[in-house]
Amino acid sequence: MSDEWLDAPWAKAVMCCIADPAADLDFTIAHGWPEWMPLDIALAEPFTRIKLGRWLLRGQSDQPSAIISACAARRSRLAFLPGQDAVRLMRLAGAWVGASGLTGLIRTSDIAAVRAALGEEAVAFAPQAALLPRPTAALMSAIGACDIPTAPSALLHCGAAIFGLAIGGIPQMLRTRLRLRRPAPLWAAAVDACRDDSAGEDAFNAMRRLVRKRIPKWSHWFS
C-alpha cells in the first residue's frame, strides 16, 4: 500500500475513521459496555473512546488497508464526511425528493412534522429543491421508492438511501463503522443502500449539488 494517500486532503478523516470509530457513537449500539464506565464519560475521553471503538468492533477482521483503498473512488469519500454533515446532506436529499409536496404544505401540523423529521434547513430549502432536476425514475427505483413518499420519515429514509447509493460499494469493515453512528436507524438505511448500481452516479451528482448549497471545507474532496 503506497503512502501517497497521506498527502490527500481526506487523509485525516480516514485515519480518524480507522482509529476512532466510536467518535460519533449512537448510545443504543453499545450493549454490554461496563456500567462502571458511563458512555458519556467514555466518549469524552479520547483514549477510552478508542478502546470503546475496539470493543464495539471486537471479533471482526479489521483491515485498515481496505478502508484506505476505498478512498481511491471519489464517491466512497462521502463515507468519511463528518457525521453531522453527512446527516445534513441526507435531510436535504429528503427535501429534494419530496420538494413538490413540501412546498404546498399549509397546515401547521404538517409543517411541524416535516420540520421535526428533516430539520428547519431542509424545510427552508424545499422551494429551491423544487427548481433542481427531479430524481430520475431509475434513481427512485434504486432506493426502493417507486412513488414520491409523503410521510416526512419516509422522505428522510429516501435521503439516507440516496446518500448510501452515492457512496457505492465499500468494504464491510467501513460499513460496520458507519452503522455505529448516530442516529443508528438513519445510518442503517444509508449503509443498506451502499452498493454499485447504475443509478449511483445520479445519486452522487445529487449529493454534489446539495454540497454546493453551502461550500464546506471538505467539498474539494470530490473535485
Q: Output the pLDDT for position 1.
A: 54
Query: How high does pLDDT run on average in the chain?
Result: 92
Whether the Cβ atoms of residue 115 and residue 78 lie closer than 8 Å to each other: no
* The most confident of 35-44, 87-96, 103-112, 210-219, by mean pLDDT: 87-96
All three cell numbers of 144: 426502493
Closest to 178 (Cα-Cα) out of 19, 61, 21: 21
The radius of gyration of the chain's CA atoms, rounded to the nearest angstrom, is 18
- 3-class state of residue 180 by DSSP: coil
Average pLDDT value for residue range 54-69: 83
Residue 32 pLDDT: 85
d(CA 95, CA 5): 35
**Residue 59, by phi and psi: left (phi above 0), alpha (psi -120 to 50) or beta?**
left
pLDDT at 58 over 90: no
Contact (Cβ atoms closer than 8 angstroms) between residue 53 and residue 146: no
**What pLDDT, on the 0 to 100 scale, is given for residue 62?**
61
Determine which of 17-26, 99-108, 135-144 has the lowest per-residue pLDDT on average. 99-108
Cell triple for 134:
427531479
Mean pLDDT for 74-89 is 96
d(Cα 14, Cα 37) in Å, to the nearest integer? 28
Report how far apart, in Å, the C-alpha atoms of 152 and of each of 73, 95, 113, 128 are.
32, 9, 7, 18
What pLDDT is recorded for position 212? Answer: 86
Residue 175 confidence (pLDDT): 95
Over residues 115-169, the pLDDT tens digits come to 999 999 999 999 999 999 999 999 999 998 888 888 999 999 999 999 999 999 9
The pTM assigned to this predicted structure is: 0.94
Cβ within 8 Å of residue 103, ≥6 positions away: 126, 127, 130
What pLDDT is recorded for position 63? 78
The answer to whether residue 2 scores a pLDDT higher than 70 is no
Q: Cell 420519515 appears where? A: 153
HSE-CB of 59 using CA atoms within 13 angstroms: 2
pLDDT at residue 45 greater than cutoff 60: yes
Q: Give the pLDDT band of residue 5 (cuts 50, 70, 90).
A: confident
Joined together, the cell numbers standing for residue 47 give 483514549
Q: For residue 4, name the pLDDT band (cuts at 50, 70, 90).
A: confident
* % of the chain at pLDDT higher than 90: 74
